Structure formats: structure tokens, C-alpha cells
């Protein structure tokens, strides 16, 4: 009787968990910040040199590199490279970064083929898939 009750509870828990798991492989590739939101404000990135984030993941680890698009459709790779682990926390996924100087986490709020939203310190970074043609 007790086993049936435990099994019923487990099945109920599994059935109630409707949070879709994002396809983390969609993170792979080039992303540029479209805009940043903080509280009720929206900020557009400014600057002459446009940097793009390149993500590459394998299993539960990955690397983020800052790259600069060049006119010949190639990229200049900067020295800004961060290694991260992907961690599942309370039905969400976070990118957990750790360097010699610091450690932080960025929560994946949204991830699909064309949009990526990361949250860090009450700011949301809204990315769009980088388009070499623009």
C-alpha cells in the first residue's frame, strides 16, 4: 500500500512538471546583444566596435568568447574568453562562470533559434542570432 502511494506521488510530480526543457544546443553559435532591460528601463548597446558573443557547448560545459566581426566575414577573437558549466536549478538552467578573479551565474530565461535572454544581477540581456549580412 505504501509503495503504491509513493509511486502515485512520483507520477503526480512528474505530470505536474510542465516546464519545457530548452534545447541547449541552440546556444551554440554567434549572438549579439539587441538590448538590455533593468527594472522598467531599456538600454540599447552603443559603441563603434560591435562585439559578438560566441558560445560553444559540449555536454554540460561550454565556452563564451567575445569576437569582433570583420568586413571579410571573418572574426577577430578577443582575449575575453570564459568557461562555464550548465547547471539545472529549480526547473531553470544557469550558466555558471568561474575565473581566477570572480564567479557568477547567468540564468537562461529564454532560448530558441533566434532569441536568447540571460539574466544577471537583475539585468536581462536580450540577444539575437548574429547575422553576418547586417
pLDDT, residue 5, reads 44
Classify residue 91 as exposed, middle or buried by CB count within 10 Å of its CB (0-12, 13-18, 19+): exposed
Asked whether residue 10 is domain-assigned, the answer is no
Q: Which residue has the higher pLDDT, 132 or 38?
A: 38
Asked whether residue 75 is domain-assigned, the answer is yes
Cell 575565473 found at: 99
Q: In which band, very low, low, confident or very high, does the pLDDT at 51 lie, cut at 50, 70 and 90?
A: confident
Asked whether residue 4 is domain-assigned, the answer is no
Can you tell me the distance from the alpha carbon of 13 to that of 11, in angstroms, rounded to the nearest whole number? 5
Could you read off the pLDDT of 86-116 as tens digits, one per residue? Answer: 999 888 999 999 988 899 999 999 999 999 9
Asked whether residue 120 is domain-assigned, the answer is yes
Could you read off the pLDDT of 12-29 as tens digits, one per residue? Answer: 454 454 455 679 999 999
3-class DSSP state of 30: strand
Asked whether residue 122 is domain-assigned, the answer is yes
What is the domain range of residue 35? 21-129
Can you tell me the distance from the alpha carbon of 7 to that of 4, in angstroms, rounded to the nearest whole number? 5
CA atoms within 13 A on the CB side of 93: 19
**pTM across the whole model:** 0.79
Could you read off the pLDDT of 62-88 as tens digits, one per residue? Answer: 999 999 888 888 888 888 889 999 999
pLDDT, residue 26, reads 95
Asked whether residue 56 is domain-assigned, the answer is yes
Q: Which residue has the higher pLDDT, 105 or 4?
A: 105
Our count of domains for the chain comes to: 1
- CATH number, domain of 55, equals 2.40.128.280
Asked whether residue 27 is domain-assigned, the answer is yes
Amino acid at each position: 500500500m505504501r509503495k503504491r502511494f509513493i509511486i502515485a506521488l512520483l507520477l503526480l510530480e512528474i505530470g505536474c512538471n510542465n516546464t519545457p526543457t530548452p534545447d541547449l544546443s541552440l546556444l551554440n553559435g554567434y549572438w549579439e546583444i539587441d538590448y538590455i532591460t533593468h527594472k522598467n528601463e531599456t538600454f540599447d548597446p552603443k559603441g563603434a566596435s560591435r562585439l559578438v558573443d560566441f558560445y560553444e557547448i559540449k555536454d554540460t560545459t561550454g565556452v563564451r568568447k567575445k569576437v569582433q566581426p570583420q568586413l571579410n566575414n571573418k572574426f577577430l577573437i578577443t582575449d575575453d574568453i570564459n568557461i562555464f558549466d550548465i547547471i539545472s536549478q529549480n526547473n531553470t538552467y544557469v550558466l555558471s562562470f568561474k575565473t581566477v578573479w570572480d564567479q557568477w551565474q547567468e540564468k537562461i530565461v529564454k532560448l530558441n533559434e533566434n532569441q536568447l535572454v540571460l539574466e544577471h544581477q537583475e539585468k536581462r540581456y536580450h540577444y539575437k542570432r548574429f547575422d553576418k549580412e547586417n
